[in-house]
Structure formats: C-alpha cells, structure tokens
C-alpha cells in the first residue's frame, strides 16, 4: 500500500518551495535616486548661502585690515612731523591672509595732510561682491562705498 502521509514519499510540490527567512538587504534603485535628489536639493540651498557668508566674511576682514592700515598711518603721521609723506603700507598679517582675495594700496600718493587706502577685491571675491569693491578709507575716517558695505 502506498503511504499517503505528508512524511511519506509522495509530497505535494507546494510543500517543497523555498521560502526566504531573511529579507533582502540593500537599497533599490529608486530609493538611491530619491536620496540623491534630496541631497542635491539641500546642496543647491546650502552652497549659495555658504558662498554668500564667505564673501561677507572676507569683506568684513578687508574692512578691519583697512582700519588697521589707517591706524598705522595715524601713528606714522604723529611720529613723522605731522606728515603722511613717504609713508608705505606695512605688510600686515591681514594683508597676507587676504592676498588671494584683496589688494591693498594707496588710492594716490599720500600728501602731507591726506591719504586714501583702498582694498580692491579680486577673483571670485570681486565677482560675488562687485557692489562693494573697492573699499576705501581716508585720513578723515570717511569710508566708501557708503551704502550697505561697511558694518
């Protein structure tokens, strides 16, 4: 007689199908594409804000450097017979640090009673900050441009 029990020789084909007890691991292509899209959106928002902040920070540093150079000029004036003649801008740390982004120079040769020092943006700084270049300070403390660039 034939044994028709489930443990016998005659099994239903459905009982022998492999069933996975471990779920598949990894990401599907659509999950990966959604992640890349989210990162791209965040980067498109963050990068311009970051560049704007860097530009503003460099401008503020250039302004501080101009004021430091103006203080040097005032010390020079008081120790050289009340004259700005023959003054040369010193090589300061701020000028060295900003060398790739700004050039510092006299707007014209200082006279006995007057000077004007400019900081002219260059490269990417000039492109991103075109409305605030050149920055200038004079012996009277006048700062240009006067609209929105100096803080």
**Percent above pLDDT 90 for the chain:** 78
pLDDT of residue 18: 58
CA distance 50 to 102: 19
82 versus 26: the higher-pLDDT residue is: 82
Whether 21 has a pLDDT exceeding 90, the answer reads no
* pLDDT value, residue 27: 83
For residue 120, pLDDT over 70 is answered with: yes
Q: Are 89 and 104 in contact (CB under 8 A)?
A: yes
Q: CA-to-CA distance for 75 and 127, rounded, in angstroms? A: 34
DSSP string, 43-87: HHHHHHHHHHHHHHHHHHHHHHHHHHHHHHHHHHHHHTTS--TT-
Over the chain, what is the mean pLDDT? 88
The whole-number pLDDT of residue 101 equals 97
CA pair distance 151, 146, nearest whole angstrom: 10
Q: Record the pTM.
A: 0.74
> pLDDT, tens digit, for every residue of 1-15?
555 555 555 555 555
Residue 125 CB neighbour total at 10 angstroms = 21
Q: What are residue 102's DSSP bridge partners? A: 121
Q: Looking at the chain, list the stretches that DSSP marks H as alpha helix, in order from N- to C-terminal side.
A: 29-79, 93-97, 124-128
pLDDT tens profile 46-83 = 999 999 999 999 999 999 999 999 999 999 999 999 99
């Amino acid at each position: 007689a034939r044994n028709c029990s489930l443990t016998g020789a005659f099994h239903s084909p459905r009982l022998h199908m492999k069933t996975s007890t471990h779920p598949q691991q990894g990401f599907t292509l659509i999950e990966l594409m959604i992640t890349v899209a989210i990162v791209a959106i965040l980067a498109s928002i963050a990068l311009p804000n970051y560049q704007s902040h860097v530009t503003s920070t460099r401008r503020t540093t250039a302004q501080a450097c101009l004021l430091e150079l103006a203080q040097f000029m005032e010390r020079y004036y008081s120790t050289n017979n009340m004259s700005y003649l023959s003054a040369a801008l010193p090589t300061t740390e701020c000028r060295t640090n900003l060398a790739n982004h700004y050039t510092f120079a006299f707007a014209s040769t200082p006279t006995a009673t007057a000077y004007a020092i400019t900081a002219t943006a260059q490269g990417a700084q000039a492109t991103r900050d075109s409305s605030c270049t050149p920055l200038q300070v004079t012996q009277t403390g006048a700062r240009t441009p006067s609209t929105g660039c100096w803080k």
